[in-house]
Amino acid sequence: MTRIPFEEMKATIKKAFMTAGMPEDKADTCARIHAESSRDGVYSHGLNRVERFVDYIHKGWVDVHATPVLEKQLGSMEVYNGNMGPGILNAIYAMNRATELAEQNGLGLVSLNNTTHWMRGGTYGWQAAEKGFIGILWTNTESCMPTWGAKSSGIGNNPFIMSIPRKEGHVVLDMAMSQYSYGKLQVTRLKGAKLPYPGGFDQEGMLTDDPGMIEETRRILPMGYWKGSGFAILLDLISSLLSGGKTTAAIDKYDKGSCGSCCQVFIAINPLMINTQEFIDNALGDTIEQLRVSVPAKENGKIFYPGEQSLRTREENSELGIPVDDSVWAKVKELAQISI
Amino acid sequence: MTRIPFEEMKATIKKAFMTAGMPEDKADTCARIHAESSRDGVYSHGLNRVERFVDYIHKGWVDVHATPVLEKQLGSMEVYNGNMGPGILNAIYAMNRATELAEQNGLGLVSLNNTTHWMRGGTYGWQAAEKGFIGILWTNTESCMPTWGAKSSGIGNNPFIMSIPRKEGHVVLDMAMSQYSYGKLQVTRLKGAKLPYPGGFDQEGMLTDDPGMIEETRRILPMGYWKGSGFAILLDLISSLLSGGKTTAAIDKYDKGSCGSCCQVFIAINPLMINTQEFIDNALGDTIEQLRVSVPAKENGKIFYPGEQSLRTREENSELGIPVDDSVWAKVKELAQISI
């Protein structure tokens, strides 16, 4: 396994994006987010996603020059048209605007219609937390998972993120609606391994932990069975109704790549307008203490708060370099026109 | 199985609450909500919960005379102290106030600290939808489930509800964080049956679908394993930070019954301030159509939207009467001082 220093990875991705026609400042931000995702261990939406993003630019599915345009302003709520601009830049803009609204009133909600893939959803949860705000955000997607009770695809994987600022490390939940991603299935299959728990259905309609069988049926399992299925439907509908944008069903028909013309919702709340810092510190401290003193399921097992493992991976990869798949890294260097 | 007409059930519960000291108007509302929960098929938080609620009144854990008091007002956000009043009345008040705020600005967020068990969380999602608003709401609870990686209890079951108004039947998701409730485990065990899917761990730490084994270890499974566990932690912390109220860890120490002094968050959004009714109808219609045309997993299987099955049960129980456990019904009649 090769490990690449963060700055080298970022600079290489930036060149790849500029070569594809992105202005330098935009390429710089997008490259930073991709490199940060890989650094934090979300490889699927970091370096590994660069080639596909460049392909979308070439196909005209992402407009590198587009920026969000305000469509509606209602008190603490604003609706923007993302104009099919780069999903990362649109989402950073929207989350930032939500925190500005929350700075004034305690609460801000910004929705985006007509935007594109935001890559790692957690990015914008961390962004809110870094600025001292609670973040609640989600996106809809094209359909890629059967509704509970169905075997053909009908609902999106719709990641949902919640984040809370904390001095010693933000508390961040970043979850998609499927129990496992297709990326996880592929990686597990290539290792010749089984999933830790059943992740979908085989040809006979039985739950299985064999990743290859699930890739064949494409019947991935919503987390919590009917619960993740229902949650995906509500996240999809509410993101459309809050932004005036496309539902999963409409994104399927539009068909401009993964998340092409999707909708997103960004909520920011200023906890210091409601509580003192001391109250907040105690609430966070007591809760994390309650996890720490739990009896571990496995001897010497450790119980983590949401976001803690990302932070550990971040530290390790910052120190040792970010692990890359050699063929993926070679491809990104090729896109950056760096001779290998 | 005995079936009781809705009005008879409501009147009997009302008498039980008045006998326990509740003023008539409050008893009427609370009795209606309990009866509606049973009518909609949520028996665990309907008639079956009357005895425990009356017990809490007698113990002084619920103050039947208390009402919510405004503590903070911040634009579209308001914080109330629930003063340990009846959870149902506090929650109805808070959701109603959130819709009033949303009527003015499109968006309203009301939080409650120091409140008590709201019974069926879905009630307030249906309430928002009936008034034409999108609802997003949750509560924290005492701990009753192990954090992922632990075998001792550390996190709450924290129900989360999302609802969308729809002429032909509202779309309502009402889910707790555990895969199954303890009520479901008990009912399944008493039938001598197995759970449809594994619902927790046995003494050896293996996943099991045997409800009795899970009741012994009390290691119920969070929905989606680590996902439901993390979600429960974030819902708990955010409800505390938005209301200035107690976290699950603090509720555990306070120890005044299930959900005694819990926190709740109610968000209401007016979709008609963002979209036309036609847009909303199409988004809902296309999405439900996409579910309907899915290939069912089982021959002639039907795929439901969230809330649809509640509506079917509502229709059936409204027509035929609400099924009751005879001993539970006798007990409530006893509490109502009706001779049996």
DSSP characters over B42-99: -GGGTGGGHHHHHHHHHHTSS-TT---EEEEEETTEEEEE-TT--HHHHHHHHHHHHH
Beta bridge partners of B269: B107, B134
* Beta-carbon count within 10 A of A32 CB: 18
Q: Encoding tokens for residue A188? A: 């597990």
- Confidence label for A339 from pLDDT (cuts 50, 70 and 90): low
The answer for A 187-206 residues in CB contact with B (under 8 A) is: 197, 201, 205
- Answer yes or no: do B231 and A164 touch at CB < 8 A: no
Burial class of B169 by CB neighbour count within 10 A (0 to 12, 13 to 18, 19+): middle
- Answer yes or no: do B249 and A296 touch at CB < 8 A: no
CA B28 to chain centre: 19
Catalytically active residues of A are: 45
Place of tokens 């979709």: B271
- Answer yes or no: do B173 and A197 touch at CB < 8 A: no
- Confidence label for A197 from pLDDT (cuts 50, 70 and 90): very high
| B109/A contact by beta carbon, under 8 A | yes
Pick from A109, A136, A303: which is nearest to B107 by CB?
A109
Q: What pLDDT was estimated at residue A192?
A: 96
Residues of chain A with C-beta less than 8 angstroms from the C-beta of B297: 146, 149-151, 201, 205
User: Residue range A109-131: average pLDDT?
Assistant: 98
Residues of chain A with C-beta less than 8 angstroms from the C-beta of B133: none
Domain borders along chain B are: 2-59+324-335, 69-178+222-273, 277-305
* Beta-carbon count within 10 A of A109 CB: 29
B113 phi, psi to nearest 5 deg:
-110, 165
The answer for B 19-78 residues in CB contact with A (under 8 A) is: 72, 74-77
To the nearest whole number, what is the mean pLDDT of chain A? 97
Pick from A269, A287, A296: which is nearest to B248 by CB?
A287
Does this complex have an ipTM over 0.85? yes
| B297/A contact by beta carbon, under 8 A | yes
Q: What pLDDT was estimated at residue A1?
A: 80
Distance from CA of A329 to the nearest CA of B (A): 31
- Confidence label for A340 from pLDDT (cuts 50, 70 and 90): low
Which stretches of B103-245 are assigned E, i.e. beta strand? 107-115, 134-139, 143-146, 153-156, 160-164, 171-175, 200-201, 207-208
Q: Give the model confidence (pLDDT) of A110-119 as tens digits.
A: 999 999 999 9
Contact A263, A112 (CB under 8 A): yes
User: Residue range A37-65: average pLDDT?
Assistant: 97
Distance from CA of B126 to the nearest CA of A (A): 14
Contact A271, A165 (CB under 8 A): yes
Indicate the residue type of B110: V
- Confidence label for A338 from pLDDT (cuts 50, 70 and 90): confident
Pick from B74, B250, B297: which is nearest to A150 by CB?
B297
To the nearest whole number, what is the mean pLDDT of chain B? 97
Q: Encoding tokens for residue B74? A: 């911040």
Q: Is the pLDDT of residue A183 over 90?
A: no
User: Which of B151, B152, B204, B227 has the most A C-beta neighbours within 10 Å, making it the best mutation to test the interface with A?
Assistant: B227
CA-based nearest residue to B103, from B133, B77, B72, B70: B133
Q: What pLDDT was estimated at residue A48?
A: 95
- Answer yes or no: do A134 and B238 touch at CB < 8 A: yes
Domain range A69-178+222-273, CATH architecture: 2-Layer Sandwich (3.30)
Q: What pLDDT was estimated at residue B183?
A: 86
Distance from CA of A15 to the nearest CA of B (A): 36
* CATH number at A2-59+312-335: 1.10.1530.10
* CATH number at B2-59+324-335: 1.10.1530.10
| B269/A contact by beta carbon, under 8 A | yes
For chains A and B, CB pairs below 8 A equal 267
Q: What pLDDT was estimated at residue B340?
A: 55
Contact A68, A90 (CB under 8 A): yes
Cα–Cα–Cα angle for B157, B162, B163, nearest 5°? 140
Catalytically active residues of B are: 45
- Answer yes or no: do B233 and A291 touch at CB < 8 A: yes
Contact A68, A93 (CB under 8 A): yes
The answer for B 120-139 residues in CB contact with A (under 8 A) is: 134, 136
- Answer yes or no: do B247 and A287 touch at CB < 8 A: yes
| B330/A contact by beta carbon, under 8 A | no
User: Residue range A228-242: average pLDDT?
Assistant: 98
Contact B26, B64 (CB under 8 A): yes
Residues of chain B with C-beta less than 8 angstroms from the C-beta of A225: 179, 197, 223
* Beta-carbon count within 10 A of A38 CB: 28
pTM over 0.95: yes
Q: What pLDDT was estimated at residue B303?
A: 97
- Answer yes or no: do B291 and A104 touch at CB < 8 A: no
Place of tokens 């949750």: B138
What is the rounded CA–CA span in Å between residue A235 and residue A258? Answer: 17
CA-based nearest residue to B62, from B71, B53, B74, B70: B53
Q: Do B2-59+324-335 and B69-178+222-273 show the same overall fold? A: no
Q: What pLDDT was estimated at residue B1?
A: 80
Write out residues in chain B with pLDDT < 70, as ranges: 339-340
The conformation of residue A206, written as its DSSP 8-state character, comes to -
